[in-house]
Structures are given as structure tokens and as C-alpha cells.
């Protein structure tokens, strides 16, 4: 399956178009919240490209993961929500949607800060393989990958995005 080629910049352009449509349809502008780290990178760039003045939020899944005892705090950064989430309309942005466990964890983290009026999920890639009933409101691309492979967003020094496809080493 190493022949999979995804153009992250082209997918980002489609995500930007989708976000413009979402914002045009909103009576009250939503706040952008990126999932650390790939989703946060996307949210930062969307904020800039959409000309939004409001600060974005960042959600970490670390503290609410069901595999915390194995992973610890190693994945992602800290949660930063520079606005009141109570009553806010939020768009959570992530790079890759897979099992749904990260999204469950960030929603638990989000509700530790308050109760938003609405939460929508937008992702660059939905790779299927759901273990929880989580669905993106917008998934720019859908791909099928074996569980033995991981797909993650990478960001170059100049801010351009690409994808890394890696084989996962399973314990013997």
C-alpha cells in the first residue's frame, strides 16, 4: 500500500474552500479549534488564510485517551483555549480521522472547559476503521489503509503540508 499518494496541499485547498462555505452559512462566526498537532497546524493556517482575527484554540487528547497508561503525555501539546467555550459555536479541525478515539478524547477535554452551543468536525482525511461512532461533518478525502499503517500530516519549515505513510511495528 506504499503507493498511496495524497497531495496534502491540494487537500488543504479543498478544506479552505469548505471552510469558506461554512463561514458564509453561519449567522454567528464559529471559533476554530485544532487537535494537537496536525489539526492545530491546519487551524493556524486556516485562521491566516481566512483572515480571522479571533485566536484559535488547541485541544490535546493526552489526558483523556483510553490508552494513556501506555502513551502518557508523549503525543501532542497542551490544551489552549483563549476564549470562553460556553455557548460558543466551534469547528474542531484534525488531520486524519481513524478510530474516533482521539476525537472522543478531545471532546472530553473540551467539555472540561465548558459547554459549547455546537461542535462540528472537519478533517483532511478520513481513513475509515472507526471503533467509535464518530463522523466528520467535512472530510476532504477518504482512503482505506490497513491497520498496520499510520498516516500523519507533516509540516515543513515553510509551512507547506505533506503526508507521511509509515508501517506500524506491532509487538511480537
Q: pLDDT, tens digit, for every residue of 110-154?
A: 999 999 999 999 999 999 999 999 999 999 999 999 999 999 999
> Which candidate, 138, 141, 140, 164, places its Cα nearest to that of 151?
164
User: What CA–CA distance (Å, rounded) separates 125 from 61?
Assistant: 18
Domain 8-167 grouped into CATH 2.60.34.10: no
Spell out the domain ranges in the chain: 8-167
What is the model's pTM? 0.90
DSSP summary character for residue 3 = T
Q: How far is CA 63 from CA 8, 99, 105, 130, 143, in A?
A: 29, 17, 8, 21, 29
Q: How many CA atoms lie within 13 A of 80 on its CB side?
A: 13
More confident of the two residues 27 and 91? 91
Q: pLDDT, tens digit, for every residue of 56-82?
A: 999 999 888 665 445 455 555 799 999
Confidence of residue 165 (pLDDT cuts 50, 70, 90): very high
Amino acid at each position: 500500500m506504499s503507493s498511496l499518494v495524497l497531495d496534502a496541499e491540494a487537500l488543504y485547498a479543498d478544506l479552505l474552500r469548505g471552510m469558506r462555505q461554512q463561514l458564509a452559512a453561519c449567522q454567528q462566526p464559529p471559533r476554530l479549534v485544532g487537535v494537537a498537532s496536525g489539526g492545530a497546524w491546519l487551524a493556524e493556517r486556516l485562521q491566516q488564510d481566512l483572515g480571522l482575527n479571533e485566536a484559535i484554540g488547541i485541544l490535546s487528547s493526552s489526558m483523556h485517551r483510553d490508552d494513556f497508561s501506555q502513551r502518557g503525555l508523549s503525543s501532542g501539546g497542551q490544551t489552549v483555549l483563549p476564549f470562553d467555550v460556553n455557548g460558543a459555536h466551534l469547528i474542531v479541525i484534525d488531520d486524519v480521522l481513524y478510530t474516533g478515539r482521539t476525537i472522543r478524547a478531545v471532546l472530553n477535554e473540551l467539555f472540561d472547559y465548558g459547554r459549547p452551543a455546537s461542535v462540528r468536525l472537519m478533517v483532511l482525511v478520513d481513513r475509515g476503521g472507526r471503533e467509535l461512532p464518530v463522523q466528520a461533518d467535512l472530510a476532504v478525502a477518504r482512503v482505506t489503509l490497513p491497520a498496520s499503517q499510520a498516516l500523519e500530516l507533516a509540516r515543513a519549515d515553510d509551512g507547506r503540508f505533506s503526508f507521511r505513510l509509515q508501517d506500524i511495528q506491532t509487538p511480537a
